[in-house]
């Protein structure tokens, strides 16, 4: 009787072991097509996320470009949104710290703060969580667990300034900034210097909307500029720039023969300028935040310690470029001029100013 009970017990134990093994394998999937199977968040070897600035991931600008870079990184490693990578949306500045803390609690290994507005919050949370890696875009945080990602925006802005100067028929061009800051003044300064390099007599109207998420203000500023005779506007204003595009498209729709142009920023904003058979996007100053985010995420995932470092991307390493999508608008003489000035920057003949004071000194040399 005892032997029978022992036999039954052994059978039950074997059955239980097989059942547990089957359950353990049920969560793993094989991709019959040969592609890397999608991993779950729990299976992710390394998790990365980002906190947006107020413009959000569909701002057609730097937040969207950053998200595209993080998505590319996730796809590269077989992850999906929420499972290996994610973002936290900020609708106002008070969202920064809660969003950062939530991502830390969710055990993300690397957390990006997108935009200089997150500097103070990144600095504070990095001190509180020294074992978590952070990255800030467009500013510098001097902490051993924070990598700072910056760009030579003045170089690309100089080149689109050259394009604007070659394109204008009124000798009046405009610059619309978001929040006035040292960063955006790099865009402004490079643009003004590029314009003046072609023709010192061109007037550059510079205005700020005091926001990266105010398309209504962008539209009003653009309307006033175009009414004043400006025919090319370069914006560095995030989502505010959508209003600049909308105003230019409204004008073009009502008067197809009138030449009004917008120069986009951060991403190639050619699609934003399409209105019927016309496109009001002359070119864009492309800032490859997407490539930088993907590159930093990969290096961190590989175990390379980037904390405390400041990375800077410019024309030389293709972190900055000028879009040539609108072949009709970017005529051969404009492209030639842009390429000539690009070569001067690369070989050191031109040091592009990045402050207003440097612009004044630069203009004296023209």
pLDDT in tens, 14-52: 444 444 444 444 333 333 333 343 444 445 789 999 999
Start-end of CATH 3.40.50.2300 domains in the chain: 48-151+290-313, 153-287+331-364
Token look-up 């300028």 returns 273
Q: Which of 100-104, 186-190, 198-202, 236-240 has the lowest mean pLDDT?
A: 236-240
- pLDDT for 36 equals 40
Query: CB-hemisphere CA count at 13 Å for 279?
Result: 18
State the Cα–Cα distance between residues 248 and 233, nearest whole angstrom. Answer: 9
State the Cα–Cα distance between residues 48 and 83, nearest whole angstrom. Answer: 10
For the cut 90, the answer to whether the pLDDT of residue 86 exceeds it is yes
Q: 153-287+331-364: what CATH class?
A: alpha beta
- pLDDT for 43 equals 59
pTM of this structure: 0.82
Residues 6 or more apart in contact with residue 250 via CB below 8 angstroms: none
Quickly state the pLDDT bin for 182 (edges 50, 70, 90): very high
Q: What CATH number belongs to 48-151+290-313?
A: 3.40.50.2300
State the Cα–Cα distance between residues 323 and 268, nearest whole angstrom. Answer: 6
Helix axes 215-227, 241-254, angle to 10 degrees: 50
Render pLDDT for 293-306 as a digit per residue (tens, 0 to 9): 999 999 999 999 99
**Buried b or exposed e, range 252-288, using 16+ CB within 10 angstroms:** beeeeeebbbbbbbbbbbbebbebeeebbbbbbbbbb
- pLDDT for 61 equals 85
Listed in sequence order, the DSSP H helices in 174-213 are 182-198
State the Cα–Cα distance between residues 273 and 264, nearest whole angstrom. Answer: 9
Quickly state the pLDDT bin for 317 (edges 50, 70, 90): confident
State the Cα–Cα distance between residues 174 and 223, nearest whole angstrom. Answer: 11
Query: What is the helix (H) or strand (E) element at residue 134, kind and residue range?
Result: strand 133-137
State the Cα–Cα distance between residues 204 and 201, nearest whole angstrom. Answer: 9
């Amino acid at each position: 009787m005892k032997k029978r009970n022992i036999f039954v017990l052994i059978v039950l134990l074997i059955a239980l072991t097989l059942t547990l093994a089957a359950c353990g394998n049920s969560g793993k999937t094989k991709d019959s097509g040969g592609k890397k199977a999608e991993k779950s968040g729990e299976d992710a070897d390394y998790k990365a996320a980002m906190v947006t600035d107020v413009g959000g991931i569909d701002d057609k600008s730097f937040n969207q470009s950053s998200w595209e870079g993080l998505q590319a990184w996730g796809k590269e490693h077989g992850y999906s949104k929420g499972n290996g990578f994610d973002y936290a949306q900020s609708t106002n500045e008070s969202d920064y710290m809660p969003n950062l803390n939530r991502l830390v609690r969710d055990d993300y290994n690397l957390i990006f703060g997108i935009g200089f507005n997150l500097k103070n919050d990144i600095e504070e949370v990095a001190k509180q969580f020294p074992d978590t890696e952070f990255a800030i875009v467009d500013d510098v945080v001097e902490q051993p667990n924070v990598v700072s990602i910056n760009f030579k925006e003045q170089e690309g802005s100089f080149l689109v300034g050259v394009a604007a100067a070659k394109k204008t028929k009124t000798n009046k061009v405009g610059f619309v900034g978001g929040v006035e800051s040292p960063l955006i003044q790099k865009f402004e300064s490079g643009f003004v210097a590029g314009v003046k390099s072609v023709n010192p007599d061109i007037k550059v109207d510079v205005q700020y909307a005091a926001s990266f998420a105010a398309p209504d203000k962008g539209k009003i500023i653009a309307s006033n500029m175009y009414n004043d005779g400006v025919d090319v506007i370069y914006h560095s204003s995030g989502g505010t720039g959508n209003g600049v595009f909308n105003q230019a498209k409204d004008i073009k729709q009502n008067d197809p023969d009138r030449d009004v142009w917008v120069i986009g920023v951060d991403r190639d904003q050619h699609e934003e300028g399409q209105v019927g058979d016309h496109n009001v996007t002359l070119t864009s100053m492309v800032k490859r935040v997407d490539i930088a985010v993907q590159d930093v995420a990969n290096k961190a995932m590989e175990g390379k310690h980037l904390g405390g470092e400041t990375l800077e991307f410019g024309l030389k390493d293709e972190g900055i470029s000028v879009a040539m999508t609108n072949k009709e608008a970017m005529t051969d003489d404009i492209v030639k001029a842009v390429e000539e000035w690009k070569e001067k920057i690369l070989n050191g003949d031109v040091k592009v100013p990045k402050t207003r004071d440097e612009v004044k000194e630069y203009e004296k040399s023209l």
